[in-house]
Amino acid sequence: MSEMSFLLAVFAVIEHLNRSELTTTSKKLIIAYVNEATGEELVDKAREAVRRYTETVLPTLASIRAKARTVKLDKLDHLVLKLEYEGARLKRAL
């Protein structure tokens, strides 16, 4: 179940960036991108897959933390935090 939560977090980020729901084919392609990614951590692989699919570089965890000290976080920030959380949770489960 943890893997599904992680993938759902990846899909949510991409759907937010694209402002549209992903098709089943798109989800399969994103999963392939995650599996092909070269990062060591799952979150790094997810970030690479998002960049490859949307051509958008996600904000880093450090930049989100710094931003949170000065302004209210936006929807993308919260989705990236959820992605980070699910990736860490899945890493602990494995």
pLDDT at residue 94 is higher than 80: no
Between the two ends of the chain, the Cα-to-Cα distance in Å is 12
Q: Using alpha carbons, list the distances in angstroms from residue 87 to 4, 9, 58, 65, 75.
A: 11, 9, 15, 17, 18
Please answer whether residues 56 and 17 qualify as being in contact, where contact means their C-beta atoms are separated by less than 8 angstroms.
Answer: yes
| Residue 59 predicted with pLDDT over 90 | yes
For residue 74, the number of C-alpha atoms closer than 13 Å in the C-beta half-sphere is 7
Q: Which two tokens stand for residue 19?
A: 């402002």
φ, ψ for residue 55, nearest 5 deg:
60, 35
Mean pLDDT, rounded, for 29-40: 95
Computed over every residue of the chain, the mean pLDDT equals 96
Q: In this structure, are residues 86 and 26 in contact, taking their beta carbons and an 8 Å threshold? A: no
Helices 42-54 + 24-36 axis angle, to 10: 130
Q: The pTM is what?
A: 0.94
- Looking at the predicted structure, is the pLDDT value of residue 70 above 80? yes
